[in-house]
Copies of this chain bind each other. A is one copy, B any other.
Amino acid sequence: MSETAGAAGVGPMSHAIFRVARLHKSLAGRLLRETGLHPGQELTLMTLWVDGPQRQVDLAAAIDSDAPTMARSLARLERDGLVRRTRSDSDRRVVLVEATEASLACRPKVEAAWQELERLTVGSLSPQQQAGIAQDLRLLESNLEPLDP
């Protein structure tokens, strides 16, 4: 059954991160599917729900996305009536984004999906294990973050 075949022997950590991320994202996508949202959109909406209206550039920074991705994602959310965009009067470059009232309808479902995702990901682990994993993830993040352009 050797699961050690193929490219897995090279860079075991990177490969493990890759696989965990893929499984996690896949699961998130499936849970989110019931809300009608696509993976990534829910982060944008939750940020808007929690932090209120804000500029695109701040929104992109808040969820670690970039400007082009955010612009297109917001265009789709706006098309679907979940988001409203208006040009700022004080600075005609910026576009202010806010969640619509219609978007609030799916907020409970989105938050339930996130809770379910969290539960399925680490719910079966002991608090000690969870704490260890949280710390390790912080460690990895602090290692990788300075390399981000």
Contacts and interface: CB of A to CB of B under 8 A. Distances in A.
A125 B147 contact: no
A73 to B, nearest CB: 15
Interface string A105-149: 000000100110110111011000110111011111101110111
Interface in A21-40: 21-28, 30
A11 B129 contact: no
Contact of A27 (B7, B115, B118, B147): B147
A149 B51 contact: no
Given A11-B115, A121-B143, A132-B136, A148 B16 contact: no
B121 A12 contact: no
* Interface footprint category on A: 35 or more
Contact of A17 (B20, B47, B129, B149): B20
A1 interface: no
B7 A141 contact: no
B6 A62 contact: yes
A14 interface: yes
A47 B7 contact: yes
The 8 closest A-B pairs by CB, nearest first: A21-B21, A7-B46, A23-B144, A16-B137, A11-B118, A11-B114, A6-B47, A133-B136
